[in-house]
Structure 1
Amino acid sequence: MGIEQIYASPATAVTPSRSVSPRGWPSALVHRWLRARSDAFWALVTGRPVSLYATSVLRIGYGLLYLVFLLREFPHREEIWGPGSPWTPALAAQLFDQTGWYSFLILSDSRGYFEICYALALVTSALFMLGWRTRATSVAFAMVVASFHARAIFMTDGGDNLVLLMALYLVLTACGRRWSLDARRARIKAARALGAPVRTRSLAAQQLRAARVTLTTVVHNCGVFVIAAQVCFLYGSAGLYKVQGSAWDDGTALHYVLNLELFQPWPALSHVLDQYPLVMSVVGYLTVLTQVAFPFVLFGRLKYPVLILLLGMHIAIAVVLGLPLFSGTMIIADAVFLPDRFYTFLPHLLRRTARRCSVPAPVPRQGEIGAQGR
């Protein structure tokens, strides 16, 4: 079941009642249609959690991405977040009084305290990625991301902002139901309980359990909806913002970007690409068109080629412009729009590809068998 099922539900045939007068039957028909649609939507939201595999991909992706980010900045951690940073804890505390941000990194100026916090951040990211006690580790991961983001808020970019938002949204979801240590523990527990006698529960306990399951399902589905809406808003606003710029209007925006030293990890590659202005103009127009059209293609099969175009765009941004964190954040966020049947089919596809690509072991000849025996 994919994210698109949150937005669309099966059509329900509604026929007007014979008791309604000819003058009032259109309003009654509309009322019944709206009620049927609202009932179907409520049944979809409260029925069962959607996009469990997609949210698990987001959990694994953002946990791994932030873990790699912290390991990458490990040699520079003192200058970025530590007590020796130019943006001192005292300055950060003054900013927090104005903005309302908070970070547990400024609770102490001790270097030992900072090293302990950094080690705990690494462990939390790893546990969140693996899905161990996801309900608790998701909250801890959101606190880690928010604290590190607020501590060096002037050194962040769009990728950091999106990671923070997604970390907060994933707290609402049941992102540990699939591909996690929690899911493995649940399977083992269910296997052990097969031969055990069923324990009868009181009516109040059954109702309380049913209410808990319904509440968890509703919160999870609403969290998935918010994540999808956030990504749609991001792409749509980015595309509309580009439309207003004259550089994107005349197709020269990528020319100026490729000539900025800040976005030239491979200057030779940037100069080679800049030698094809027509191609860069077409790529720029295609980028704007894809971003603006993205929120409107989610309900059909056209979203799949659009997602492929966005994947290529983010890979190019990561390689050519040197923004791997931003590109990785966006690629992971796009995974929420793939249905669960894609993720369930993916392991079978990988195994089939591995079997086709495997090279069979060479069969020894008759003389070689005798030589090996001697």
Structure 2
Amino acid sequence: MIHRLNHFLSTKRVLIGTSLMRFSLGTGILFYLLYHYQERHLLWGSEGLWPTEKFMESSGERGIITLFHLSDAPWFLDGIYHIGILAVVMFTIGFRTRLATIFTFLIFWSLYYRNPFITNGGDNIVRIQLFFLLFAQAGTHFSLDRMLSQRRTSSKSRLEPYSSILHNFAVLVMILQLVCLYTTSGIYKIMGSMWQGGTAVYYAMRVQDYVWPGVSEWIWQSEGLIVLLTYSSVLFQVSFPFLLLNRYTKYLALLGAFCFHTGVGLVMNLALFSWYMISFEWLLLTDSEYHRLIKRWKTLYSKGVSLVRRQNMEKESMREWVG
């Protein structure tokens, strides 16, 4: 029993999902940094939207320490920003992953608290998940670190079992964080009168920042579609943790999450938020489930290729017979 427990704890799990999360999350953060590159001094500079005096006062009250406490000079912001872009690129491609994750977390943490008025729920959960990702093995797959490690032989460290336990614990906490997010969001929706009445999506889509011209009007003019979207959103979020308890309904939870966030990203102009949330969904499948999906995909692909070839051969033989 003890041997089985030790084997269970000391075996790294969800390595593929963690690596996919790293790549997807890094892509989103890199887009965020490049998108705001020209306006970085306006958003985070000493004379920008949130001046240094107010930033220092607010962070002092909350007990927050960031890199911007070291200096408020424009050259320092430029240095932090460019180092951040480099760190996120390394993080995304998986080069020196552990070090790149540390720098990515520090940069994102500092930018998040330097101007908290331009953040959203997506930035908040990224900040939390990045912290736990510091303790996980995020560069095992789809990374330069893996390519480089295959070229050299390395002996296992004595600390390897402890590293595995730490990785598994970090992954578990990140999954629980995601589950808690969906559950609490669903519960708060249930308590809202607009969600109970089936009109919440209508009023949310009427906010000017969330309008998709030509599409939003078509959606909110359909009473049945509005009610369906409202109730299905609540049902998905409340049932999400229970769907994960079964190996088959888990795929339904993932499909629902992808559809839900894709719809939110497109219809409500929250593309980056949805990208962040979808990035975390990769954690919900085990390595064996990913291998099973890949195997099934290869089987379906080979059958499809064989079918196309057979049809082409039949057409060719028919042409020869007619000719």
Q: How far apart are the structure 1 equivalents of 2:126 and 2:206?
A: 28
Q: How far apart are the structure 1 equivalents of 2:3 and 2:188?
A: 38
1:45 to 2, 9, 32: 9
- Report the equivalent of 1:370: none
2:205 to 253, 258, 267: 258
Deviation of the 1:96 alpha carbon? 1.3
Q: What aligned pairs does 1:49-64 form with structure 2 within 5 A after superposition?
A: 49-64=12-27
Deviation of the 1:260 alpha carbon? 1.1
Runs of 4+ in 1 over 4 A off after TM superposition: 38-42, 345-348, 350-357
2:275 is aligned with 1:328? yes
Q: How far apart are the structure 2 equivalents of 1:293 and 1:182?
A: 38
SS in 2 for 1:124: helix
2:256 to 309, 325, 348: 309
Deviation of the 1:268 alpha carbon? 2.2
Which segment drifts farther, 152-161 or 348-357? 348-357
Q: What aligned pairs does 1:1-374 form with structure 2 within 5 A after superposition?
A: 40-46=4-10, 48-190=11-153, 209-210=157-158, 212-264=159-211, 266-300=212-246, 301-344=248-291, 349=297, 353=301, 356=305
Q: How far apart are the structure 1 equivalents of 2:122 and 2:294?
A: 29
Q: How far apart are the structure 1 equivalents of 2:41 and 2:305?
A: 49
**Residue type at the aligned position of 2:176:** A
The alpha-carbon distance between structure 1 residues 163 and 149, as it changes in their structure 2 partners (threshold 3 A), is same
The superposition leaves residues 171-220 of structure 1 with CA deviations (integer Å, 9 ceiling, x where unpaired) of 01011111111111110103xx8xxxxx9xxxxxx9xx33x011100100
SS in 2 for 1:174: coil
SS in 2 for 1:74: coil
Q: How far apart are the structure 2 equivalents of 1:302 and 1:346?
A: 15
Contact 1:61 1:129 in 2 (8 A): yes
- Report the equivalent of 2:319: none
Contact 2:23 2:92 in 1 (8 A): yes
The alpha-carbon distance between structure 1 residues 60 and 350, as it changes in their structure 2 partners (threshold 3 A), is farther
The superposition leaves residues 78-129 of structure 1 with CA deviations (integer Å, 9 ceiling, x where unpaired) of 1111223121122111111111212213422321221111110100000011
- Report the equivalent of 1:22: none
- Report the equivalent of 2:316: none
SS in 1 for 2:13: coil
Q: How far apart are the structure 2 equivalents of 1:71 and 1:350?
A: 36
- Report the equivalent of 2:317: none
Which segment drifts farther, 342-351 or 226-235? 342-351
SS in 2 for 1:75: coil
Contact 2:244 2:253 in 1 (8 A): no
**Residue type at the aligned position of 2:181:** L
The superposition leaves residues 8-66 of structure 1 with CA deviations (integer Å, 9 ceiling, x where unpaired) of xxxxxxxxxxxxxxxxxxxxxxxxxxxx5x875454112x1000011101111111110
Structural RMSD (CA)? 2.4
SS in 2 for 1:268: coil
Contact 2:215 2:267 in 1 (8 A): yes
Residue segments in structure 2 that go unaligned for 5+ positions in a row: 310-323
Residue segments in structure 1 that go unaligned for 5+ positions in a row: 1-35, 194-198, 200-205, 361-374
Q: How far apart are the structure 2 equivalents of 1:345 and 1:49?
A: 18
Q: How far apart are the structure 2 equivalents of 1:101 and 1:40?
A: 43
Percentage of identical aligned residues: 27
Aligned length: 306
Q: TM-score, normalised by structure 1?
A: 0.76
The alpha-carbon distance between structure 1 residues 180 and 254, as it changes in their structure 2 partners (threshold 3 A), is same
Q: How far apart are the structure 1 equivalents of 2:242 and 2:4?
A: 22
The alpha-carbon distance between structure 1 residues 184 and 346, as it changes in their structure 2 partners (threshold 3 A), is farther
Deviation of the 1:353 alpha carbon? 4.7
Q: How far apart are the structure 1 equivalents of 2:299 and 2:43?
A: 43
Contact 1:172 1:220 in 2 (8 A): yes
The alpha-carbon distance between structure 1 residues 341 and 159, as it changes in their structure 2 partners (threshold 3 A), is same
Q: How far apart are the structure 2 equivalents of 1:253 and 1:42?
A: 49
**Residue type at the aligned position of 2:203:** Y
Q: How far apart are the structure 2 equivalents of 1:120 and 1:347?
A: 36
The superposition leaves residues 289-340 of structure 1 with CA deviations (integer Å, 9 ceiling, x where unpaired) of 1111111121211121121112111011111100111101110111100222
Q: How far apart are the structure 2 equivalents of 1:321 and 1:121?
A: 29
Contact 1:89 1:106 in 2 (8 A): no
Q: How far apart are the structure 2 equivalents of 1:122 and 1:65?
A: 12
Q: TM-score, normalised by structure 2?
A: 0.88
